[in-house]
Structure 1
């Protein structure tokens, strides 16, 4: 078997440089701070190092410019949402705007837009926080377990989905049903506000703490706000509003259904009074 030829000095130095050895030592000490000329070994090491560096630069991929953020800054997205919502002259146009709106990151992770369900001419409007898994699949609000309970709640006061209008503050499902961020809520807020204006109900019912605090501008918890008549000002008229428990909360804490029933009875009496 023929032995392989010994590597040349340049090849050996190149190997050392690639292995991380970046200087060569000789038998005689070298004062690297003096102006003396470098040894031949150091010259060779320098030449080999420069060659390696040049070869690495040639083979390195070209720098890639950082990708621009596809979403506008939060303040810009909020301003865009306000302007778009303000110009929507009907619920159909508002829905089309939301379908095209790219200012909220939730849209990219959701399956579909969950706009509303029920009768747009209804005298009463229910607003929750955000869609869940079932709503994301079907594209309708309150169709899962909490939706079935909501159906029973409104049926208890002689109503059904043909006589009410149902929506959410957030029209896209947050990933994993997480709580929407304050920024996401503020970006979506102009759309639900315009939706309420266009439906123009006689009574607005907020379901749960998040939608109550967002729409009724209160920092109090649902235990203090529920069952009380409050005002929701659209800018053109004042709508009577009441907060009550979210159906999902009632599924977890059924003992509070009694209080929710009291809220529904008060709402039913108010509707009867409006009719008469």
Structure 2
């Protein structure tokens, strides 16, 4: 009998990352979905009465109040690396944001890559070198942009837990409000979902207005550098996104 084939865990993780950046969240859903069916119409709720029934609104869901986030950038970044952050129990180290607090361009990615912990900053290695070239192509650099991640630690398999998506999105929006950038570049599907509420495939090709506590920022969603390394043909589409971003700056 021949030897048993070996399983390359690093390659498998890389494939999972590739599909995640492309917007694939699940392999098979729990229940079948009719993609051609119209959206369901919610049934009206009526109040009981001896006279004709009156249409009333359903009671809103009650949520526990969220913890107040720090209102200064230094305090916020300290909080993101503290035990109070949602990712504090995850493996690895926390990587805080970098770049000037008054940057006109902010870049948001999903989470640290596997090699970023050793490098001590986001977007290191081969993806980082491609990111640096992307910035240079639009007249920017790491010294001029504010670079941050939706998750300050890398989640299991690089995928944000569904139960924390809403909270991490609130935190990311708060971070944007502290920087008050004129432009916002969202790299990857998780960043698009967090700040635009939609998948990358639907968000690309459009300039979005993001409302935050300090005003509005224009946002453009594009591919993560790690995805472009796996699929170089997408670089042409990425360049279109960067041109749109610069059009917002010049407009």
TM-score, length-scaled by structure 1: 0.63
Q: Of the candidates 139, 142, 150, which is equivalent to residue 161 of structure 1?
A: 142
Residue 257 (structure 1) aligned with residue 241 (structure 2)? no
1:1-276 equivalent positions in 2, closer than 5 A: 79=65, 82-85=66-69, 88-102=70-84, 104=86, 106-175=87-156, 177-218=157-198, 221-273=199-251
Offset of residue 103 of structure 1: 5.4
8 A contact 2:186–2:192 mirrored in 1: yes
Distance 1:124 1:110 in 2: 30
8 A contact 1:118–1:163 mirrored in 2: yes
Q: Which structure's residues are more often helix, by fraction?
A: 1
| Structure 1, unaligned runs of 5 or more | 1-74
| Structure 2, unaligned runs of 5 or more | 1-62
8 A contact 1:126–1:166 mirrored in 2: yes
Offset of residue 208 of structure 1: 1.4
Aligned length: 189
Q: RMSD of the TM alignment (CA)?
A: 2.0
8 A contact 1:116–1:166 mirrored in 2: yes
Offset of residue 156 of structure 1: 0.8
Report SS of the residue matched to 2:92: coil
Closer/same/farther in 2, CA of residues 249 and 139 from structure 1, 3 Å limit: same
8 A contact 1:117–1:165 mirrored in 2: yes
Distance 1:233 1:101 in 2: 29
Offset of residue 236 of structure 1: 4.2
The structure having more radius of gyration, on CA atoms, is: 1
Distance 2:167 2:119 in 1: 23
Distance 1:125 1:131 in 2: 16
8 A contact 1:169–1:185 mirrored in 2: no
8 A contact 1:135–1:141 mirrored in 2: yes
